[in-house]
Amino acid sequence: MKPRIEVVAIDCLMLRLFDEIAETNMPWMLAASQRLRAGFADQLIDLVPSYTTLMVHYDGLALSPGQARELIAQALTDLQPDTQSRGQCHVLPVWYDVSVGPELTLLAKRTGWSVSEVIRRHSEHHYQVFALGFAPGFAFMGLVEEALAAPRLATPRKRVAAGSVGIAERQTAAYPAQSPGGWNLIGRTPSALFDREREGYSLMQPGDSVQFAPVSHAEFINLGGDDTPQEALA
Q: Structural domains in the chain?
A: 4-76 (3.30.1360.40), 89-233 (2.40.100.10)
Provide DSSP, 75-137: HHTT----SS----EEEEEEB--TTT-TTHHHHHHHHT--HHHHHHHHHSSPEEEEEE-SSTT
- Of the pLDDT bands very low, low, confident and very high (cuts 50, 70, 90), residue 233 is confident
What are the tens digits of pLDDT across the range 93-145? Answer: 999 999 999 999 999 999 999 999 999 999 999 999 998 988 889 999 989 99
Q: What is the percent of the chain with per-residue pLDDT over 90, rounded to a whole number?
A: 80
What are the tens digits of pLDDT across the range 145-191? Answer: 999 999 999 999 999 999 999 999 999 999 999 999 999 999 999 99
Alpha helices, DSSP H, located in the chain? 26-40, 65-76, 104-111, 115-123, 217-222
pTM of the entire predicted model:
0.85
